[in-house]
Amino acid sequence: MTAPAPLRERRATGYGPASAQRRVLAARYRATLLGDWPTVVVLVAQAPFIGWLCTIVWGSVETDTPSLRFVLALAAVWFGCVNACREIVKERAIVERERLLGLSLVAYVASRIQVLAVLALAQVVLLQGAVEWKLALRGNFAVELFALWLAALAGTGIGLFVSALSTSQERAVGVVPLLLLPQILFSSFAIPESQFSDVVRAVEKGMPVHWAYEVFDALAAPEVGWGRVALALCALAGMTTVAALATTAALVRRRSVV
């Protein structure tokens, strides 16, 4: 069925190429996010607070331990999930209306990741900076920071996917703990790796916390395993990409708007 002429005209003139859409959408989203600056302050402030708590817990050790590295990786994924889990569902009606004008879903999702990536970077810098201020982490600071940022981006992608599937902000926020708990259960901190079943071992490979921890663990070894580091970083980047594509696919199905 052919769309009415006025609608075809609006589709043709409403939005430009996807790259231009991404820039415009990112600028608009950034302004909206900064307009709600109290929420941004809370999101950013939790990073140094968690880092400070880590220095209290591990202060007597005065160095990093496997458990500290795992907590840092888990915190990074937490940041990403919490940052993103409400960001699509809260404006789903706007998205559906703007699709009538030619909104590119790829550009829309990319604009959210672009802005939230900056927020995640600020969080992981403050997190690791707070920990490094009191504790001596073994390994290259820049590489560890990059791993935490990629873990936060993977969490951002997961949060956006949940947001795209959710019908309310409350449901999206409620799902976040259910996403983080498996990160702990399917890890060597729940049971020794030697006792992993084939299923547990396979599921663990799909957990971003596992790969971020791998980077810290490889960098802390007497002889740095750069191959492990590269593989883990690629896995985190791949998870972010897959989550972004899944989010875009979840948005394809239209919803009725009021």
Q: What is the C-alpha separation between 62 and 85, in angstroms, rounded?
A: 35
CA dihedral over 88, 92, 96, 98, signed as positive or negative: negative
Q: For a pLDDT cut of 90, what percent of the chain falls above it?
A: 71
Considering the entire predicted model, what is its pTM?
A: 0.89
Write down the pLDDT at residue 256: 59
- Mean pLDDT comparison of 40-49, 57-66, 193-202, 215-224, highest-scoring range: 40-49
Q: What is the C-alpha separation between 116 and 159, in angstroms, rounded?
A: 11
Q: What is the C-alpha separation between 51 and 49, in angstroms, rounded?
A: 5
Residue 206: count of CB within 10 angstroms of its CB = 13
Residue 44: alpha-carbon gap to chain centroid: 14
- The pLDDT of residue 6 is above 70: no
CA dihedral over 169, 171, 174, 178, signed as positive or negative: negative
Average pLDDT over residues 158-170: 94
Tell me, what DSSP letter sits at residue 192?
-
